[in-house]
Structure 1
Amino acid sequence: MPRSSNQKLKLLYLMKILQEKTDEHHAITVPELITELARYDISAERKSIYDDLEALKLFGLDIVSARGRTTGYYLASKDFELPELKLLVDSVQSSKFITHKKSMELIKKIESLCSVWEGQSLQRQVYVAGRVKTMNESIYYNVDKIHTGIVDNKKISFKYFEYSVTKEKVFRHGGVRYVASPYALTWDDENYYMIAYDSSAGQIKHYRVDKMTDIAMTEEGRDGSEHFQNLDIAVYSKKLFSMFSGEEETVRIEFENRLIGVVIDRFGRDVSAVPSDEAHFVVSVSVAVSPQFLAWVAGFGSEAKILSPESVVEKLTVLLRAALRQYGNPAAAATKQGA
């Protein structure tokens, strides 16, 4: 009988079968290996299988024999352990900037890194439907183009948009293209941002990657490298609340003791917390004073208080007064209720 053209690929297919069909709970016998190889139009005898398994062990595969009523073989060590793959699946399905379609595609690829049996275990923890996901499928290509600009030391041009109340794209600057020098990508508050230098404004800016479109490389070299030489992107991101810009200030805030975990989550374990009395502590943090930062502090109600500088205290006071006006005169409402 003529030999199949796949016969030369026997070792590769044997490795594929072990990767896809076996794990520590699912061994495969030699007769089963012969049957699986036949699916690829490859003939094999028992002795040749034993020789092939030894060759794959010499190659570095961690093939273990499981003895019972029959002897089976399985691949004990793989590039990723099951808990690591579960972590990757969790990250993909919870990432807002990855679309529903791309989430399912990526999870399917992650499943291919383990056995079919372990893949079924991964599927049981997939909950993508109903999650808030970006509507912009091109984000993956945007990331690639931005990385290319960084690596090639070139400026990029792009259009930037927002959504209207009718969920339609509205381009900023009337659709005129932005030009910026990309330096980094960062993930903050479940969104992807490009950190770049804007030559026309002479300052560092950041842009939501899923709101960028029509990205193109330019032939012009990047500007602003001196601004990034000593810039710690993690520190830069930590100063911004929901990546909204504002004037940078060192702000002293007093919190109730029970909020220490929240403060560490926001500013890191290195934040200096000084007790002010038995029930409170004070931190001094460098932040971009934006409405989002002020709203974050206001959200703790009487459990947090900005102490200084006075200009930031005044900004919070103005914000709270404006919010009160949205709901009329609270004092009058309380009097009417008590009458």
Structure 2
Amino acid sequence: MADKNQLLLALLEILTSESDDRHILTTNQILELLKARYDIQIERRTLYSNIKTLQEFGHDINDYSENNTGYYLDSRQFEESEINLLCHSIHSSHIIPDNSSKQLIDKLLSTQNRYVKSEFNNRVYSKNYRKSKNKEFFLNIELLLEAIQQHKTISFEYTKYNHNKQRVPRREQKYQICPYDLVYVNERCYLIGFNEKHQSLSHYRIDKMKDIEILEKKFTRIIDFSSYDYTATKIYMYSGSETSITMRCDDCILDDVIDTFGTNITILKQEEDTFIAHISSSKDGLIFWALQYLKHCTVLEPAAIKTEILDIIEQAKNRYSN
């Protein structure tokens, strides 16, 4: 005979893994599962009293008095819709390595019953070939969080692909940064830090970082900033100072403009299905964006950016003409 705690845990596990409003367990089914899985034999009244105990401790168990059939776990730590969203996000995320994705998804699915697990795996599991190969990804995050909390400088290798599709260091010497914060932007996770050599903020993709080392050198944070305010002006995470930019756009890309630059911009409606947008952005990020929307967008100011875009268009025209 199991003790009270073992019985409660076994009963909760069975209700978690086997039941929902479409799969209601009868008293006999629960007793059989307790015997088969845990070699626990109890009387019906013991089962009823233990279910009541679980209910009193906050577990939302729908019982016979409500459904006239049996018992099921009516609510969980995560709802099925939340689990599907989180698991899809993890599986589709390029920055999380394949094995780590599977481990995370398994942890989330463990909060659901076996029917939800089976449906998700049958529906989703195709290979994601864009997954990061950096197996240090979560170790990197742990080290960075530790360094941020302790206000310690870090060193690391920052990598890039070579033509053999291998990650190689960008330079011989390691980077050294005062880590400030982690932020998730454009489906990538970045470290924002202070570069003491250049006396400026900079950012780095965590999946490209390797061999992170926490140094003994401590730092004092000298710039107070909001991570997401910082990234709001770094379109596509291009570096550079913030520049005020005016552009004329067709109404058909209004959603795209707001999706990219946010609602904290000025929009002035014009005639003939156009509008003027006043935004703040890094120059290179804005140019990259504007070239994608060349058919529907014209940069008006500053003149230097407009001239640079014209030069890029002319160079591209010449390449395509040859």
Q: Shorter chain as normaliser: what TM range?
A: over 0.9
Q: CA deviation at 1:281?
A: 0.9
Match of 1:76 among 74, 77, 102: 74
1:310 aligns with 2:303: yes
TM-superposed deviation, 1:200: 1.1
How many angstroms does 1:262 deviate by?
Answer: 0.7
Correspondent of 1:12 among 3, 9, 13:
9
Asked if the contact 1:29/1:71 (under 8 Å) is kept, the reply is yes
Q: Which amino acid aligns with 1:164?
A: N
Paired residues for 1:51-90 under 5 Å? 51-66=49-64, 71-90=69-88
The one-letter amino acid paired with 1:93 is H
Shift of 1:90: 1.6
Query: What do you get for the CA RMSD once the two structures are aligned?
Result: 2.0
Task: Indicate if the aligned counterparts of 1:182 and 1:222 stay in contact, CA closer than 8 A.
Answer: no
Work out which of the residue numbers 108, 115, 118 in structure 2 matches 1:117.
115
Structure 1: any 5+ residue segments left out of the alignment? 330-339
Matches of 2:90 and 2:120, distance apart in 1: 12
Q: How many Å apart are 1:67 and its aligned residue?
A: 6.7
8 Å CA contact 1:93–1:128 kept in 2: the answer is: no
The Cα of 1:275 is off from its aligned counterpart by: 2.2
Q: Is residue 160–residue 178 contact of structure 1 (8 Å, CA) maintained in 2?
A: yes
Give the 3-state SS of the residue equivalent to 1:207 in structure 2: strand
Q: Distance in 2 between matches of 1:15 and 1:137?
A: 35
Is 2:232 the partner of 1:232?
no
Matched, 1:260 2:251: no
Q: Is the 8 A contact 2:92 2:128 kept in 1?
A: no
How far apart in 2 are the matches of 1:97 and 1:279?
Answer: 39
Judge conservation of contact 1:159–1:177 (CA < 8 Å) in 2. Answer: yes
Paired residue for 1:281? Answer: 275
TM-superposition CA deviations, 1:202-258 (whole Å, max 9, x none): 1100011011111111122224x232x1x2222221211221213431111110111
Instruction: Identify the residue that residue 216 of structure 2 maps to in structure 1.
Output: 219
Q: Which has the greater radius of gyration?
A: 1
> After superposition, what is the alpha-carbon deviation per residue over 1:253-272, rounded to whole angstroms, capped at 9, x for unaligned?
11011111111101112321
Determine whether 1:321 maps to 2:314. yes
1:139 equivalent in structure 2? 137
Q: Secondary structure at the match of 1:205?
A: strand
Matches of 1:138 and 1:104 in 2, distance apart?
15
Q: TM-score, length-normalised on structure 1?
A: 0.89
2:146 to 139, 145, 148: 148
- AA aligned to 2:288 is A
Q: CA deviation at 1:118?
A: 2.0
Q: What is the aligned length?
A: 321
Amino acid at match of 2:291: A
CA distance in 2, matches of 1:273, 1:286: 13
SS of the aligned residue for 2:275 comes to strand
* Distance across 2 between alignment mates of 1:236 and 1:327: 37
Amino acid at match of 1:145: L
Q: Deviations over 1:166-193 (max 9, x none)?
A: 122221221x221111111112222111
Q: Which residue of 1 aligns with 2:199?
A: 202
Measured after TM superposition, the shift of residue 68 of structure 1 is 10
User: Aligned equivalents of 1:63 and 1:170: distance in 2?
Assistant: 54
Aligned to 1:160: 158
Letter in 2 for 1:49: L
Residues 66 and 121 of structure 1: CA distance in aligned 2, closer, same or farther (over 3 Å): farther
Shift of 1:88: 0.6
User: 2:126 and 2:185 mapped to 1: Cα distance?
Assistant: 20
Identity across the alignment (%): 28
| CA deviation after TM superposition for structure 1 residue 159, in Å | 1.2
Q: Distance in 2 between matches of 1:168 and 1:43?
A: 58
Change (3 A) 1:69 1:79: closer
Residue 103 of structure 1 pairs with residue 101 of structure 2: yes
CA contact (8 A) 2:153 2:218 kept: yes
TM-score, reference length from structure 2: 0.93
1:245 aligns with 2:239: yes
Tell me, in whole angstroms, the C-alpha distance in 2 between the residues paired with 1:186 and 1:295: 22
**Which residue in the other structure is 1:301 paired with?**
294
Picking from 176, 179, 185, the partner of 1:179 is: 176
